Every structure is written in structure tokens, then in C-alpha cells.
Chain A
């Protein structure tokens, strides 16, 4: 795979139809919009190396309750835009006065973006069996730009981590990660994930992480 660090305004291709994410077309040529890694496949995509998470419909994210209003929980989703979780999106009926009992400020939830409108009003939902309130485990934060790398091609990296670390791991699209397991396993998981974040732009990462885990486990036993 052909990859290269590019900066905004770099010419990527003469063929307008190869324009992918993070690029724009001017006068029939493709240019980079971002400072990041360009992936030259059929389409050219530029993956940013930094930047804020912008919610989009269907994303699974981890949110933290910021405020409780009359019929909404205001959820911080690690983005410039706050999420709104309406009481009707909670799996069971909740009265207005018991809202702060069920989800108090500071609580972490695994949620999904239901809809985002053009003014960036972000509606969230908990109406799914996979979603819910996080009561155990830890939540850590990495840059959302590293999330694809942490999941790996077809989930290769994340399934390897779950297997090797004996942890339950959920990666939110917003860069928040929930880990649940024994304290030692979670410590190692945290170190591993931070390593992946730091070296996300390099190739052959999965193999190197496997080696790293072997080494750490040997050191522990």
C-alpha cells in the first residue's frame, strides 16, 4: 500500500474521480485538505493525524453525562458538539424527577448517535441491547483519528487485544475506550492502547503489538 505524509494543498492526483475523504477537487485535480497520511488506492483518502471528533449518524460512542435538564441528559461526547439524550431514548419509562437518579452527572454511557442535523444538534439513543450505562471497568481517551488503527482491518487488532488481554474492550468512534477485566489486565490494556495511539501511523503494527504483549506477559510471570 502506498502511503505518504501530506499537508493541506498538496496535489494528489490529476484524476478528479479518485478524490476520497480528506481531499477536494479544484480544476479537475485532487488536492489534500488535511495534514495527514494519504492512502493511494482506487480512491485517495487522507487520514488526519489530529483533529476533533465530529459526530455522525450511526456512530457508537462513549459519553459522559454533563448536565440533566427537564427531559434531556446533556452528554459530552469528546467533541465540539454536545449530545442530547432524550428521556424517551432510555430503554424504560423514566419520570422527569428521577432522571438524575438514573444517570447522574459524571456517569459514563455507551451510546449511539441517532441523528445529527445541519445545525449539529446531536441526538443520542440508548435503545439497543448493546448499549447501556457503564458501571464497571475503566474509560480511557485517545485521539479519535487513531480509532481505525486500534480496531484494525476487519477488527483484527481489537479481537487480538481482547483475546490476549482477557479484557472486554469497547472502542467508541469518538476515541473513548471502555475496558473491563482484572486490574492487572486493565493496566496492560491501557499501556498497549497508548502504544498503539503513539505509533498508529506506522506499518506492521499488529505484529509489533503481539510481540510487545508477549514481552510484557513474560515480565509479569
Chain B
């Protein structure tokens, strides 16, 4: 987090490096049910981030000693592919991925009704295929959709988004350059009714800036929620055309 070491001009005519306004999200694309093997899955693109999430369970807990008698445990594995960043990332878990797994799990756990499935586990796997700042938020968004797709009872969806500070100005959903050379980055996760389940920050912000940034990030989360919701609803509406053709087939057969 240097003070703009790279001497990049972050704003031009009030627009950012990728022609976004300060309070604009990167393009967002969500696909539901992309993996046949998993109980629930989701693929998400948030700007340059490409992340896939798979949910398995509730299923039997192995190793057995982790099992809880009264509720399901949730395991969340955040992992970056070695090819997801410019310089090859050494494969396997590291300090950073342990931390992100923990905070992401804690962001999702409050909405999952774990008491419905005692002595079981809900496994969430999040694989980052391409990273471009804000992979944890993309991972949480994908995991939330994948959990819904797996038919797991939840009190609400979770949407996640970051706000940051670059060149003294607050921005929504920082991209790689803004994250690397900016002054602060603050990812949050929340339910659509505004209950925050994740709030992290690195860098520096004044208390006033933090309040504004929080409001910005919350606005971003609401936009993400609408895309998540649409992706889930469309999965079943898309199937309608198939049904119409099936209805027409018998009539054709009678003509023959």
C-alpha cells in the first residue's frame, strides 16, 4: 500500500482507469449449476476475477472428531490456482488463503440453518481461476449462490463487495491497479437487508471516509444481490422453452 509509488494517473475526466465512475461496479456475470458432480455450484466473473464455487453436502463428517452433535459444520476452502496471477503462485494453502477461508466461512455461516443437519458437514470449495483484486468478495458471492443451488436452507443470501481509497478518492470495487497502489481496501459482505457479516480493511481511512466507503460498498452489495437473484431465478425460467417444444411434439407425431 504505497502512496501511489507507480505514479499512475488514476482519474481522467472523473473516470477511472477502466472508464468506470467512482461508484460503479465492474461487469458482473453469474452462472448457476455449472458442475454436475457438486450438489450446488456457481461460476462468477467480477471484472477480471474468475471464480468457481462448489458446494457438497450436507454429508457425513470426516474426520469424525470434527463432527458437532447439534448442528452441521461449515468448511470453506478458498484456493488460488497457480496460474491465477501474473507471477506463478506457489500452489497449496498459505497464510493468506487460511485467513480468507476463515473470514469467508464466518461471512456465510450466520445465514445457514446448520441446526437442520446435526452431525453433518457442508463443504464449500472456492477456486480462483483468475485474480484481479477482490477475489474474496467474488468467492463469497459465488459460494452464496452455490449454497442456494444446493438446496441448503438459509435465512438470506449473502452479497459481497469492496470499497477502496485511491489518490484520496473513495472508489467502489477496486481493480488490481487501484488495490495495489491505492491507500485502502475494505471488503464487506452483507445480507440484502443490511446485516454485515464481513468487514475487513487494510490501509488508512479517516472515520468519515470509512462511513462513506461503507455506504458505497453496501450499495455495491445490493447491486450484486440483484444479479445473484436473477441468475438463480433464470436457471428455472430458462427451462420453459424446452417444455413448449415437448408439448408440440405429440401433435406432429399425429400428423405423421
Which of A's residues lie within 8 Å of B, judged by CB? 5, 7-9, 22, 24, 26, 31, 33-36, 48-52, 54, 80-82, 118-120, 145, 199, 201-202, 204, 208, 211-212, 214-215, 218
Contacts and interface: CB of A to CB of B under 8 A. Distances in A.
B36 interface: no
Interface of B: 39-40, 57-60, 69, 111, 113, 116-120, 148-157, 191-193, 228-229, 232-233, 236-237, 239-240, 242-243, 246-247, 249-250, 253
A33 B243 contact: no
Nearest to A211: B250
Contacts of B156: 8-9, 31
A61 B137 CA distance: 41
Contact of B40 (A5, A31, A50, A82): A50
A95 to B, nearest CB: 30
A201 to B, nearest CB: 6
Contacts of A80: 57-60, 117, 119-120
B239 A201 contact: yes
B151 A8 contact: no
Contact of B247 (A34, A81, A208, A215): A208
B57 A52 contact: yes
A202 B58 CA distance: 27
Most interface-central of A202, A204, A208 (chain B CB within 10 A): A202
Closest 9 CB pairs of A and B: A51-B151, A9-B156, A50-B151, A8-B154, A35-B148, A211-B250, A33-B153, A48-B151, A80-B120
A120 B119 contact: yes
A31 B111 CA distance: 13
Nearest to A214: B250
A14 to B, nearest CB: 15
Interface on chain B toward A: helix, strand, loop, or mixed SS?
A: mixed
A187 to B, nearest CB: 20
B192 A9 contact: yes
A130 to B, nearest CB: 29
Nearest to B230: A7
Contacts of A8: 111, 148, 153-157
A106 to B, nearest CB: 19
A51 B152 contact: yes
B175 to A, nearest CB: 29
Contacts of B154: 8-9, 33-34
Given A9-B154, A33-B154, A48-B151, 20 more contacts: A7-B148, A8-B148, A8-B154, A9-B111, A34-B154, A36-B151, A49-B236, A50-B149, A51-B39, A51-B151, A52-B39, A52-B59, A80-B58, A119-B119, A120-B120, A201-B239, A202-B239, A208-B246, A211-B249, A211-B250
B153 A22 contact: yes
Nearest to A202: B243
6 contacts: A9-B155, A34-B151, A80-B60, A119-B119, A202-B243, A215-B253
Contacts of A119: 69, 118-119
A54 B152 CA distance: 12
A22 B242 CA distance: 28
A31 B153 CA distance: 11
A52 B118 contact: no
A14 B225 CA distance: 22
Contacts of B249: 211, 215
Contacts of B153: 8, 22, 33-34
> Which of A34, A51, A80, A199 is packed against the most chain B CB atoms within 10 Å?
A80
A7 B150 contact: no
Nearest to A4: B233
A155 to B, nearest CB: 24
A22 B116 CA distance: 11
